[in-house]
Structure 1
Amino acid sequence: MPEGHSVHRIARQFRQNFVGHRVAVSSPQGRFAEGASVLDGRTVTDAKAVGKQMFLEFDDGLWLRVHLGLYGAWDFAGDIHSDPTIAASNGRMGQTNQRGTVVDGDDEADPILDLDGENSLHSIGAPRRARVRMSEQSSPLAELDERFPPEPVGQVRVRLLTDTTVADLRGPTACEVIDSAGVQAVIDRLGPDPLLDPSAEAGERFVSRAHRKGSPIGLLLMDQQIVSGIGNVYRAELLFRARLDPHRTGKTVPEETLRELWADWTRLLAIGVETGQMMTMDDLSPADYRLAMANRADRHWVYKREGLPCRVCGTNILLEEMGARKLYWCPNCQR
């Protein structure tokens, strides 16, 4: 499932390439034909992300709400402009030391592209083998066909088209047209998102909500009503970085530890948005940093490392199911 950093990057893509433009909205698949007809011909006025939810505003106070879920993704084609704040830092920002200080990888200015396309500007969301991704050996979607717009490929729920750019949505869990009150109602049900609200008050809302619960902290971090945006990868990595047993109940985790979790989530989310990758490793050499940015197997402490020795203590990483999702953790470091 795409995690919070991906959804924030999608919102940035729309702000950079669609806001201020009148769009043709269609549903090639047909399942969103009624909603598409309501939005067709309107101008995009805003785009924002809250956790795993994205909201695209159109004139007259209408919004398109999208939750990608497990399988959803946006594919972009045409004249794609990257967010200058991402372009300026991509390839440099991407690791923190144990105190949370951002460390530059080296002096390389160009982005280090992930082999699986995780930080592609042309396809953001759940991975699919059939989707073309950006890499040194492949071309952007729009370059595969001289015609613009390209023909829809696969089950496209929604297509948004300007004179120069197209965005295709496939496989979302939720896709609906709502008004401003509906947007606020969704946001009110969600836990805090540190990119939407980095205030101390937002952090304290997370602390108080988590500390009241008798559920395992490994479940609470995935509860979008407790905190927004954390998915399976970030859950495992945040708990390892905090040296927290995932089975420990929220009410038994010290409040100061919960505050440190919030601060670490704030840092990792910002790194994920800027680099496009869930980089969670610390204190890497420039060479190891480049390897980690190019290959997800080299940039996580415990995620998908079951049976392999812990990078810190050498104990084999465990895999179990928690909350119907795979949980990776070190039984020695996280005691």
Structure 2
Amino acid sequence: MPEGHSVHRIARQFASNFVGKPVAASSPQGRFAEGAALLDGRTVESVHAVGKQMFLEAEGALWLRVHLGLYGAWDFSGEILVDPTIASANGRMGQTNQRGTDLSEQTAILDDAGENSLSSIGAPRRTRVHVRMSEATKGLADDGAEWPPPVVGQVRLRLLTDTTCADLRGPTACVLQTTDEMLATVAKLGPDPLVGDAGEGEERFVAAVRRRGVPIALLLMDQAVVSGIGNVYRAELLFRARLNPHTPGRDVPEATVRALWRDWVRLLAIGVETGQMMTMDDLTPEQYRAAMAHRDDRHWVYHRAGLPCRICGTDIVLEEIGARKLYWCPRCQA
């Protein structure tokens, strides 16, 4: 399932290419035909991400809410102006990782693990491309031979401007809402570091965690407690905090809860910038490039069941909690 960084990147892609433009909307699959008919011809006025959900505002106070879920994806094609706040396809990021590794002069970094890769999104330029944006797909080349592009597979919703096409496939939710309905949906979501005041978000997060007797591993995945955290970030945040995932929220020291939030602020920003859930620290430039290219080199514990902990050598444990996989080190997080 796409985690928060992916949805924010998708929202920024829409902001760059659709805001201020009228869209032709259709439902090739037919399952969103009535909604598409209501959207058709309206101008996109704004787009926002909150956690794992995106809200696109069309003229007339009509909101499209999309939750990609486990299998959803947006495919962008045509002439795409890429948001300048996210990493470039040629690897010239001009930023640093968590602990200061300067990558401004690095060459291309490509991902072979199936996440959104640096090749998916380029520097601010116009180009004929085809980009799939979901948690488990990479950008694909487009020869630009036909416009609009032919519909391939089960497309729930197609949004089309004169130059750019966005196809939505397999979402968990694709619904139209009034402004009041959209605000009610957002009100049920936990704080997102990139939405509103981060300090206020921290206070909401701390209060929600420390009044519950639920294991912290479940609270981090509860979108009413905090928005955007999924399986990968959950495991990595807990390891980075050296926190036992079964600790009840009310028993986690307040200082540790605040540190979790602040680490989420930092990791989410890196994920939005690079398109990767990079959670390793203190890497050399060579190690960072390897981690950006290969998921196995990017995480402390996630997807490392049975492998030695990178810190203590104890085998990483895999268990199921809340019907989701949890990876953790029973020694470092004892």
Contact 1:94 1:275 in 2 (8 A): no
Once the 2 structures are TM-superposed, how far is the Cα of residue 110 of structure 1 from its aligned partner?
A: 5.5
How many residues are treated as equivalent by the alignment?
320
Q: Secondary structure at the match of 1:113?
A: coil
State the match for 2:175 in structure 1: 176
Moved more, 158-167 or 195-204: 195-204
d(CA) in 2 for partners of 1:46, 1:19: 6
Which residue identity is paired with 2:43?
T
State the match for 2:12 in structure 1: 12
Moved more, 52-61 or 194-203: 194-203
State the match for 2:111 in structure 1: 114
Q: Quick one: which of 115, 121, 132 aligns to 1:123?
A: 132
Once the 2 structures are TM-superposed, how far is the Cα of residue 109 of structure 1 from its aligned partner?
A: 5.6
Contact 2:101 2:284 in 1 (8 A): no
d(CA) in 2 for partners of 1:179, 1:104: 45
d(CA) in 2 for partners of 1:90, 1:262: 29
d(CA) in 1 for partners of 2:96, 2:242: 21
Contact 1:95 1:281 in 2 (8 A): no
d(CA) in 1 for partners of 2:156, 2:92: 30
Which residue identity is paired with 1:295?
H
C-alpha deviations, 1:40-70, integer Å up to 9, x for none?
0111110000000100010011010000111
Once the 2 structures are TM-superposed, how far is the Cα of residue 93 of structure 1 from its aligned partner?
A: 4.2
Contact 2:92 2:103 in 1 (8 A): no
Q: TM-score, normalised by structure 1?
A: 0.92
C-alpha deviations, 1:265-315, integer Å up to 9, x for none?
000000000000000000001101000011111100000000000001100
Q: Secondary structure at the match of 2:156?
A: strand
Contact 2:95 2:103 in 1 (8 A): no
Gaps (5+ residues) in structure 2? 122-130
State the match for 2:215 in structure 1: 216
Structure 1 segments of 4+ aligned residues over 6 angstroms from their partners? none
Q: Secondary structure at the match of 2:255?
A: helix
d(CA) in 2 for partners of 1:267, 1:178: 32
Once the 2 structures are TM-superposed, how far is the Cα of residue 91 of structure 1 from its aligned partner?
A: 3.8
State the match for 1:51 in structure 2: 51
State the match for 1:100 in structure 2: none
State the match for 2:24 in structure 1: 24
State the match for 1:96 in structure 2: 98
Structure-to-structure mapping, 1:1-335, within 5 angstroms:
1-87=1-87, 91=93, 93=95, 95-97=97-99, 103-108=100-105, 112-115=109-112, 116-119=114-117, 120-121=120-121, 122-127=131-136, 133-134=138-139, 139-140=140-141, 142-143=142-143, 145-335=144-334
C-alpha deviations, 1:165-193, integer Å up to 9, x for none?
10010110110011111110001000000
d(CA) in 2 for partners of 1:178, 1:90: 40
Contact 1:105 1:290 in 2 (8 A): no
Per the alignment, do residues 273 and 154 of structure 1 end up closer, same or farther by CA in structure 2, a change over 3 Å counting? same
d(CA) in 2 for partners of 1:91, 1:307: 34
d(CA) in 1 for partners of 2:296, 2:93: 17
Which residue identity is paired with 1:195?
L
d(CA) in 1 for partners of 2:266, 2:43: 34
Q: Secondary structure at the match of 2:191?
A: coil
Contact 2:20 2:44 in 1 (8 A): yes
Once the 2 structures are TM-superposed, how far is the Cα of residue 117 of structure 1 from its aligned partner?
A: 4.8
Gaps (5+ residues) in structure 1? 98-102
d(CA) in 2 for partners of 1:84, 1:200: 26
**Identity across matched positions, percent:** 63
Q: TM-score, normalised by structure 2?
A: 0.92
